[in-house]
């Protein structure tokens, strides 16, 4: 407990010396993710000399950001939508972190020699960090996650104005890719939210993107430094949302795999158990994986809030000529290890007796007749054969 903490000032709270001081009392190691602006504020508060003592004594580890994430934006003529693209910004080819730090200090002191000496002391007792451009890919993934996007918008509204509450279920939000960037269309009324806010603040899609992007940046920092993390309340809230979603998604998916095995695989047997027991070899299983692309594509397109058992049944029974038969003339039922059983409740069709069992080979033929590949094609003809082998 209280081993290490990383403090990353937020956009609207660049200077919180009290929090830094408090952390130094409780934690063995304190990291501060700093921009040149932080030292400008130290000078203005006449605390820069004391802070330099903390740095030189090793009580605080200052990490200067040599690049920052920002947003390219552009108005679209005739539309309210704003085109945006996350980007990683540096000071330019010829402007080093030393140049930027010295210039910022100069704006507060107007003393060239002092600014140069102070800059050297800061750089001698800190380290420079570079953010990875790979984070942008994760931001794009977050934007394509409808559930997370709606929750991020809802929480952003709440933290922007606590008097306004919009539930995620009320939000419509779509992301359209366009010319290397994207447009976020949403039913959130930005004008209404901004109506009673002072002119220095503005709520819009940029604010939403900023929160989503910095949640990724801060989580990467915490992971990289293996420490506790102090960030803004909204980013902290979204970090919890992201972690809870990962835990829930992992737990839910593993449960669904087990349920799928119980219902649809031979004697409820699991692939995992067959391999771990030595009953089947990895070499045998590799042959199954080589044929699994269509099945994995089908799984990938199932929405997060759907149940795989229900979707499997729907996929097998949907959009076939059998569905066009008169109502109540058929129903499909699945039994573990048997395959497909068609119970035709009158009206003729494939087999006239109720409860006609169809073998895996017959199921394959049936699939060909009534509409091509379906997930049960792979399950019955590949996984079932793999598990039933003697």
Could you please report the per-residue DSSP string of 266-335?
GGG--HHHHHHTTSS-HHHHHHHHTT-HHHHHHHHTS-TTS-HHHHHHHHHHSSSGGGGSPTTSEEEEEE
At 157, list the tokens: 């509204």
Task: Examine residue 104 and state whether it is found in any structural domain, yes or no.
Answer: yes
Are residues 154 and 33 part of one domain?
A: yes
* Model pLDDT, residue 96: 86
Say yes or no: 238 and 274 in one domain: no
74, 131: one domain = yes
Question: CA neighbours within 13 Å on the CB side: how many for 260?
Answer: 22
Q: What is the pLDDT of residues 134-191, one digit of tens each?
A: 999 999 999 988 889 999 999 999 988 888 889 999 999 989 888 888 889 899 988 8
Mean pLDDT of 221-241: 84
> Which positions ≥6 away from 140 have C-beta within 8 Å?
86, 182
Taking 50 as the threshold, does the pLDDT of residue 357 lie above it?
no
How many domains does the chain fold into? Answer: 2
Position 256 in a domain:
no
Buried b / exposed e over 359-389, threshold 16 CB at 10 Å, is ebeebbebbeebeeebbbbbbbbbbbebbee
Taking residues 31-57, what's their average pLDDT? 89
Domain hosting residue 13, numbered range: 4-243
Q: Could you tell me if 290 and 372 lie in one domain?
A: yes
């Amino acid at each position: 407990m209280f081993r290490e903490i990383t403090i990353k000032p937020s956009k609207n709270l660049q200077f919180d010396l009290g929090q830094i001081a408090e952390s130094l009392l409780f934690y063995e190691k304190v990291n501060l993710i700093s921009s040149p602006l932080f030292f400008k504020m130290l000078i203005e508060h006449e605390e820069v000399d004391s802070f330099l003592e903390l740095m030189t004594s090793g009580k605080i580890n200052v990490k200067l950001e040599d690049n920052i994430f920002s947003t390219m934006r552009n108005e679209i003529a005739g539309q309210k939508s704003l085109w945006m693209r996350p980007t990683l910004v540096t000071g330019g080819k010829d402007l080093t972190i030393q140049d930027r730090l010295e210039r910022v200090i100069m704006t507060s002191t107007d003393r060239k020699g002092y600014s140069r000496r102070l800059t050297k002391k800061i750089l001698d007792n800190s380290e420079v960090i570079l953010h990875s451009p790979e984070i942008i890919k994760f931001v794009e993934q977050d934007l394509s996650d409808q559930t997370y996007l709606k929750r991020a918008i809802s929480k952003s509204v709440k933290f922007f104005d606590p008097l306004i509450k919009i539930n995620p279920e009320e939000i419509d939000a779509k992301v359209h890719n366009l010319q290397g960037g994207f447009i976020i269309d949403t039913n959130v009324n930005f004008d209404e939210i901004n109506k009673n806010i002072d002119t220095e603040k503005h709520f819009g899609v940029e604010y939403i993107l900023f929160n989503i992007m910095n949640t990724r940046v801060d989580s990467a920092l915490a992971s990289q430094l293996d420490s506790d993390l102090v960030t803004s309340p909204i980013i902290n809230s979204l970090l919890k949302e992201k972690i809870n979603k990962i835990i829930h998604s992992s737990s839910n998916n593993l449960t669904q795999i087990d349920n799928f095995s119980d219902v649809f695989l031979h004697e409820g047997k699991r692939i995992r158990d067959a391999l771990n027991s030595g009953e089947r070899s990895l070499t045998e299983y590799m042959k199954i994986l080589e044929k699994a692309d269509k099945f994995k594509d089908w799984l990938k397109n199932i929405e997060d809030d759907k149940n795989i058992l229900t979707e499997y049944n729907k996929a097998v029974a949907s959009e076939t000529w059998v569905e066009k038969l008169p109502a109540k003339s058929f129903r499909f039922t699945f039994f573990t290890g048997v395959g497909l059983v068609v119970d035709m409740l009158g009206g003729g069709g494939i087999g006239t007796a109720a409860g006609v069992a169809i073998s895996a080979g017959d199921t394959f033929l049936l699939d060909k007749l009534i509409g091509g590949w379906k997930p049960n094609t792979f399950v019955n003809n590949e996984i079932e054969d793999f598990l039933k082998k003697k």
